[in-house]
Amino acid sequence: MSNIERFDAIVIGSGAAGCLAASRLAEAGRSVLILESGPARSLRDLTSSQLWARRLKWGGAPVIERGRHPIGHNFNVGWGTGGAALHHYAVWPRLHPSDFSMARDHGRGVDWPLSYTELRPWYDLIQDEVGIAGDHTRESWRPDGKPYNQAPVPVFRHAELIAGGFTRLGMQTAPLPLAVRTRNGTDRQACIWDGWCDAGCPTGALANPLVTYLPRALRAGARLLHDATVTEITTDATGSRVTGVQWRNTGGSTHAASASIVVLAASTIQNSRLLLASRSRSPRGLANGSGQVGRSIMAHLACQVFGLWDEDTYCHMGTTGGQLLNQDGYVKTHPGDAFGSWQWIIGNALKPNDLLGIALNRPDLHGTKLDDFMRRAARGCGVITAVAEDLPRPEN
């Protein structure tokens, strides 16, 4: 093992949360080390290709997904600079006040230890710093907060056609809150709406860590180390105070660093793995006196509905995240329906065969039939995505 270097803080993971934490700590004058298990990436590396997009997903050790409802680990996590936020879709609606008091109000799930009112200033602050496009006047369901500071995203024909159906059903639509620049600024340029968010945004219009908090952290003196897979969080002899971390590089050698602050920001799965693997002085794993570490995972449910039109819908245009939002169904109780909130996201940009692609909605077709369908769908397709709520159940 190499010599142990001392830092004030070590941040595990270079995704959205890790880079934010690193920037705040470094700007406060702390010495900060960011450890990232994946390779280095820059905006210049990002390529608008479905093949390239696969590289941004998890590329480390194999992950076994089993059980009745596997969460799709590969889709939900990232690998390399920026983590999952490098390929995230920047859909940033706010939680509602009712989300924070589920157990008290409905006798289900668990309550947050804080309220929306307490969290609201931080929603507003991040919105000011990063920039979110939207129109708060059209979101009748939106909780109190500052107006969006970017103009709404444009609506292309595929979303316009679907929104017409919502209107005929008496359902509201509003511009989708997206952390995307809709106008040029001194630091980032506006989106060109080519729909390649899943492959990473090479222009910097979408708020990924490469253009938000990582540059701030590095300017303030934080150090970023790639190809560093953390294997254990170390503690003092009592096991009650963190002292640092150990990690391995791609060559297999082991390294260590010490710090009085360790920030776990390596995704839900990896955070749990690290706590459970840190058993040198805690046989059940760190912070696991309750036995709940690694349980009660929440990964919101989603399903898609596709449609075909006999006109060019420009379904490849927009953003992968979508263009319009409906939260009429966000109330927790619906007479005759299942418990919990749901929402519709309208007009996701579609490519022929990506993670949310056109081909996936007709798995029954092969050969010339699939080719015929794809030729039609590539010009006349549209999609809406239903996103629903799940509960933190211990068996998950």
* 120-168 confidence digits (pLDDT tens): 999 999 999 999 999 999 999 999 999 999 999 999 999 999 999 999 9
pLDDT tens-digit readout, 301-339: 888 898 999 999 999 999 999 999 999 989 888 777 778
* Distances 61 to 229, 250, 256 between C-alpha atoms, Å: 10, 12, 21
**35 in a domain, yes or no?**
yes
The answer to whether the beta carbons of residues 150 and 131 sit under 8 Å apart is yes
Answer yes or no: is pLDDT of 282 > 90.
no
In this prediction, residue 360 has a pLDDT band, given cuts at 50, 70 and 90, of low
Q: Convert the pLDDT of each residue in 172-194 to its tens digit.
A: 999 999 999 999 988 899 999 99
Token output for 255: 């390294």
| Higher pLDDT pick, 338 / 234 | 234
Does residue 281 lie in a domain region? yes
Instruction: Give the phi and the psi of residue 306 in degrees, each rounded to 5.
Output: -105, 150
**CA dist., res. 116 & res. 112, Å (int):** 9
Decide which of 77 and 104 is more confident. Answer: 104
CA angle 220, 224, 229 (to 5 degrees): 150
Residue 195 has a pLDDT of 95
Residue 30 pLDDT more than 80? yes
User: The domain containing residue 280 runs over which residues?
Assistant: 1-88+208-294
Two tokens, residue 62: 């194999």
Share of the chain above pLDDT 70, in %: 96
Neighbours of 191 (CB within 10 A): 25
| Mean pLDDT in residue range 263-278 | 94
Question: Model confidence over 43-53: pLDDT tens digits?
Answer: 999 999 888 88
On the question of pLDDT at 1 being above 70, the answer is no
* Domain presence at residue 396: no
pLDDT band at 357 (very low <50, low <70, confident <90, very high): low
Our count of domains for the chain comes to 1
- Please indicate, yes or no, if residue 182 is contained in any of the structural domains: no
Domain annotation covers residue 216: yes
Say whether pLDDT at 171 is over 90: yes
CATH number of domain containing 241: 3.50.50.60
Dihedral (CA of 168, 169, 174, 180) sign: negative
**Residue 101, in any domain of the structure:** no
Q: Left if phi > 0, otherwise alpha if psi is -120 to 50, otherwise beta: which for 125?
A: alpha
Does residue 7 sit within a domain? yes
249 occurs within a structural domain: yes
pLDDT over 90 at 293, yes or no: yes
Q: Is the pTM of this model over 0.85?
A: yes
Query: Average pLDDT of the chain?
Result: 92
